[in-house]
Structure 1
């Protein structure tokens, strides 16, 4: 029996009609590399052939009687590819604006929990703008959506690898070896749930001691000035309130080699540079609207603990750290240096926390109580009444260093998009891919109607940081 971990299940409990807990990806494909001419029917058949024996694509959620325990995964015996892979066409003129509007609409739709929790839309007729300002060759776009209960950043990339290859006509990157989950009887589910409920107090005692020690150590770090930024210390912005189900989406590309050069010259990390550019873009966006707060914005940065976790099960193996983005600092190089120093402290603080701490505590999320609490929180608009926990989520997902092919079509761009939350209606995700850093932003449309107004500042902020590094000089600064 394949039971959802507490953390995986929490993403189901967190979901409301407005707070949708799926992750998305926009893949721009070049069909010219395909060994046979593109057709939707052929692509749909090939996707079916690759996913039919992959549990991650063919399992669905089954609840436990009386909600006594977290749900389990069972195989969907009626799996039908036509319920998961759909065909759409962009309206004329089929450019970037039309694509973003369509993707935002698709991101606003919930997944059907009676089926495996994923969908793909193959979108035809996309004509991106070329370097000369004219429309380039027509591309095919795949908009993919998977529930966060099934994937995190790393496991999501691994799952997509079943559909990708290193050459147009080669085998998938990752063959499937995992067994399909079995379908337990009602009596077995109820019996396991009763045992789990009875032993929960013992488990709680085991979790409390290290958590208490962590609090003591965190207080000491705070006194020494080496603790990570604290939640509930963020300034309020227009995207920090109660969200709706409507979304806005934008994406852009950054030069990965330029980011790596800055990292090398300044002795920082790629993540430091990404966060510094993000902070600069957010500063510019808020300043344009006369909304720039005096104190720095606070971001939650998901961190994979897959390599250090003791748990062998569960799709989500993540923790998180909080970091100030330096939106109160005008100079981009000064912002980068501040972020690098704070991030070192945050990482040391984070490393002192058990890799499984979040997963351990998530086991105590009661299905019914948790779901009712989330809905009450939204209905009472409590996100607008207490101090802001954090302003946004920023994720950095490592991607392939070489070109990949999806069903034989080269992936020209791959932008992942995470969920947004009540109180933090903006999510920025970056992913490297064959020399580019793809930036995707998704927001609640009511609080950020024009996400492109934010995203367009990313290339400009990277250029400002490059100019600041070059102006200071030093070994490796000159091109």
Structure 2
């Protein structure tokens, strides 16, 4: 049965207040340690043509808003809950910027422009930015949300509903799981899962002596910038047919090769891999607040940069990021964040994202729909990742129109960032040659 158009749902009542989860509270705490925009994430879309005005975009959002009631909830830190925002007006969440340059040729200009735009904590923690060009045709739309308000999967589902086909979503009804990296919905944790969470997340074993990675030693300037890469997805699909590996495993293996080539001297004699956090969504498919709050887990993947063989790197990552391992991690993190006291969850998360142990963050998040504006498909789609405190680099990717789109986000003081997209392209060619019949 077809879902009704969002305009038909305009009379839907706002959702009732909901307590802040342990994850939500933890991310709020982390955000309070530095500039708040560093814990914002989102999606950037570029389009040809003339940019819409804020009022026109707000009118479009009002038509879609009844299918997204979670966007009307704001945080109440004192009561530790999400509550309906009084006198909510979607126009308060639409902003406009103008930048120089051709955004269709260089979408990173638009991404850099919105990176540090603030969100008002007295309102729901999201916004949609119109980025126009002062000198060329084309514009960008950037949806951004606080990481406590939404995780990466919720962000992309929101973009699907705001700018995807106008079929709508009935409030409280969960759509199918989008493509991308999502761990299986965990079963209710029992005693063994609680014990595993205590053992693995609160008292983790030091599997390897940390490698002295040069970017981790670079003093930070305090500002950030993004470098983007676009690659033909057909090259990865050919590797999938040849090796049986999924797109996510292949991307991890190619990225590992790129990081090895970025600082080759580091890996000449290094015996240990490079640990990286890998974001996962463990949101239950029947969650009635599907687009609200953070429902993430964090896997620590040892990227085998010390391994000279591209094929061996791929096999190592297929094992480390196997479905069984991610499902086990989902059960542990559900126990850690949903069943154990808040102080346990805080300690577990701090150990997991400690930049001295894990200096790099990764995410793979996919849209389900092809976003459009007024019938015109998006020219580019790029993720806007957050910045994990102390970590020098975040790499995030998605797929769009037979392209793999990579975002490398780093501090402006990090040298050599512009070389990473080229290293990724060459590492993809190297893996292709290494696995050829």
Q: TM-score, normalization: structure 2?
A: 0.77
User: Residues 99 and 109 of structure 2 are in contact (CA less than 8 Å); yes or no, is this contact kept in structure 1?
Assistant: no
**Aligned with 1:403 (options 357, 370, 376):** 370
Structure 2: which 5+ runs fail to align? 1-16, 174-188
Once the two structures are TM-superposed, the CA of residue 243 in structure 1 deviates from its matched residue by 5.2
Equivalent residue runs for 1:13-412 within 5 Å: 13-15=29-31, 16-18=33-35, 20-31=38-49, 39=53, 41-51=55-65, 54-64=68-78, 71-92=80-101, 96=105, 99-125=107-133, 138-166=137-165, 171=166, 173-178=167-172, 210-213=193-196, 230=207, 233-239=210-216, 245-287=222-264, 292=267, 294=270, 295-307=272-284, 315-344=293-322, 347=325, 350=328, 353-354=331-332, 356-360=334-338, 364-365=342-343, 388-400=356-368, 403-412=370-379
What's the secondary structure of 2:241's corresponding residue? helix
CA RMSD after TM alignment: 3.9
User: Residues 10 and 362 of structure 1 are in contact (CA less than 8 Å); yes or no, is this contact kept in structure 2?
Assistant: no
Once the two structures are TM-superposed, the CA of residue 126 in structure 1 deviates from its matched residue by 8.2
Once the two structures are TM-superposed, the CA of residue 285 in structure 1 deviates from its matched residue by 1.9
Q: TM-score, normalization: structure 1?
A: 0.71
1:295-344 CA-partner distances (Å, limit 9, x unpaired) = 32111112222248999776322222221222112332232123223333
In structure 2, what is the Cα distance between the partners aligned to 1:241 and 1:309?
44
Is 1:462–2:428 an aligned residue pair?
yes
Larger Rg: 1
Once the two structures are TM-superposed, the CA of residue 364 in structure 1 deviates from its matched residue by 0.8
Kindly tell me the number of residue pairs found equivalent between the two proteins: 398
**Aligned with 1:429 (options 396, 420, 423):** 396
In structure 2, what is the Cα distance between the partners aligned to 1:434 and 1:410?
10
User: Residues 240 and 246 of structure 2 are in contact (CA less than 8 Å); yes or no, is this contact kept in structure 1?
Assistant: yes
Once the two structures are TM-superposed, the CA of residue 84 in structure 1 deviates from its matched residue by 1.9
1:403-459 CA-partner distances (Å, limit 9, x unpaired) = 33244331222111221223322111111223222111211223x256332233222
In structure 1, what is the Cα distance between the partners aligned to 2:295 and 2:355?
28
In structure 1, what is the Cα distance between the partners aligned to 2:162 and 2:200?
45
User: Residues 101 and 248 of structure 1 are in contact (CA less than 8 Å); yes or no, is this contact kept in structure 2?
Assistant: no
More deviation in 297-306 or 325-334?
325-334
More deviation in 87-96 or 72-81?
87-96
Once the two structures are TM-superposed, the CA of residue 352 in structure 1 deviates from its matched residue by 8.0
Structure 1: which 5+ runs fail to align? 66-70, 128-136, 180-205, 223-228, 378-382, 474-479
